[in-house]
Amino acid sequence: MEPHAILYADRLDLLFENRNKLYGAYPLRKYYSRRLYAAMATVTGFVLIFSCCVIYMRSRTPFSGRIPVDSDHFLTSVTLDPIVNQPVPGKPVRPVKHIATAALTPPLFVKDQPIPEPMATVEELKTASIGVHTEAGLAVPEGDNGLPGASGAGGNQLKDSTENVPAVYDHPDLMPEFPGGPEALKRFLLKNLRMPETELEPGNQVRVIAKFVVGPDGKVSGIETIQSGGAAFDGEVKRVIYRMPDWKPGVQNHKKVAVYFRLPVYFVVPEEN
């Protein structure tokens, strides 16, 4: 192609310069737009013709499915046959079962009816257990008559009720308290406990759990070890507990009672600097 003809040449001519234009690729690209427009025009024509046919056919239909506004054929009343409950063919009819009922009779209040057995007084209930019949027997400690919160029903432990010994509770309504509270108890232990001579390595610790009774007067008694850390550590814990001042006693049913108290003590061997 001549240089002056490049500006006026088609891009396909430039692309297929010095190539075989009789091959199928050149005609397909050359006349693509013409064939596309022809196809779109053909499809559009078919659509228009089909739409016109549909509109023409619907316009010639004698009844289009719509009732004219001025028509006299309106629904004014409906008559239904009475409904008859008929059994389903092949299925037996079950008879209706009637459930037995009883009338609720209101209570009858009778006046001046004699009482067969007199009611127990409050004083008698203080030293007797609650039961169905009145029977003679050993006196129950006051406050342990079988009511919720007493030693038998409330989960506490009775030390010895047969010998009329005051009960010792595990979980009363109000636990005993060291004078000044838990922080004061901690300061008392840190001040009075001494580390026994031991062969433990630095950084180790020993735990001792002591159990004692705080009486109704707040005095500590019955000290025992329920988890031992060694004879030296157990003895040191007991020594400090015996030196404790009087506690604030526990309360059960608004009365001061004896209570078991468990005290864990930890001895930590200091690390060497």
Q: Is the domain of 146 the same as that of 273?
A: yes
* pLDDT bracket for residue 239 (50, 70, 90): very high
According to the model, what pLDDT value does residue 215 have? 94
Asked, for residue 58, whether it belongs to a domain, the answer is no
According to the model, what pLDDT value does residue 264 have? 93
Residues in contact with 149: Cβ distance below 8 Å, sequence separation at least 6, in sequence order: 173, 252, 253
Helices (H) and strands (E) in the chain, counts: 6, 5
According to the model, what pLDDT value does residue 154 have? 41
Output 235 or 128, whichever has higher pLDDT: 235
C-alpha angle 24-30-32 in degrees, rounded to nearest 5: 95
Asked, for residue 194, whether it belongs to a domain, the answer is yes
Residue 206 one-letter amino acid: V
Radius of gyration of the chain (CA): 54
According to the model, what pLDDT value does residue 18 have? 63
Output 163 or 165, whichever has higher pLDDT: 165
Asked, for residue 87, whether it belongs to a domain, the answer is no
The pLDDT tens digits of the residues spanning 49-106 come to 999 999 988 887 665 555 555 555 556 666 666 766 666 566 666 776 666 665 555 6
- pTM assigned to the model: 0.41
Strand partners, 262: 211
Please say whether the dihedral angle defined by the alpha carbons of residues 145, 149, 150 and 153, taken in this order, is positive or negative: positive
pLDDT at 37 over 70: yes
pLDDT at 143 over 60: no
| Pick from 44-53, 87-96, 138-147, 241-250: least confident | 138-147
Residues in contact with 28: Cβ distance below 8 Å, sequence separation at least 6, in sequence order: none
Q: Where are the alpha helices (DSSP H) in the chain?
A: 11-15, 25-30, 32-59, 122-126, 182-192, 231-242
* pLDDT bracket for residue 17 (50, 70, 90): low
174, burial (CB in 10 Å: exposed 0-12, middle 13-18, buried 19+): middle
Range of the domain at 163: 142-273
Cβ atoms of 173 and 253 within 8 Å: the answer is yes
Q: In the structure encoding, which two tokens stand for residue 233, read together?
A: 């550590």
Rounded CA separation 26/206 (Å): 100
Please say whether the dihedral angle defined by the alpha carbons of residues 87, 91, 93 and 97, taken in this order, is positive or negative: negative
Cβ atoms of 232 and 196 within 8 Å: the answer is yes
Asked, for residue 49, whether it belongs to a domain, the answer is no
238, burial (CB in 10 Å: exposed 0-12, middle 13-18, buried 19+): middle
Asked, for residue 231, whether it belongs to a domain, the answer is yes
What mean pLDDT do residues 154-161 have? 43
Asked, for residue 107, whether it belongs to a domain, the answer is no
Q: Could you give phi then psi for residue 263, rounded to 5 degrees?
A: -125, 110
The CATH number that applies at residue 262 is 3.30.1150
Range with the largest mean pLDDT of 31-40, 119-128, 210-219: 210-219
According to the model, what pLDDT value does residue 226 have? 93
* pLDDT bracket for residue 151 (50, 70, 90): very low
Asked, for residue 150, whether it belongs to a domain, the answer is yes
Cβ atoms of 187 and 203 within 8 Å: the answer is no
Domain count across the chain: 2
According to the model, what pLDDT value does residue 116 have? 56
Average pLDDT score over the chain: 75
Cβ atoms of 206 and 200 within 8 Å: the answer is yes
Asked, for residue 131, whether it belongs to a domain, the answer is no
Please say whether the dihedral angle defined by the alpha carbons of residues 218, 220, 222 and 224, taken in this order, is positive or negative: positive
* pLDDT bracket for residue 47 (50, 70, 90): very high
- The percent of residues in the chain predicted with pLDDT above 70, rounded, is 54
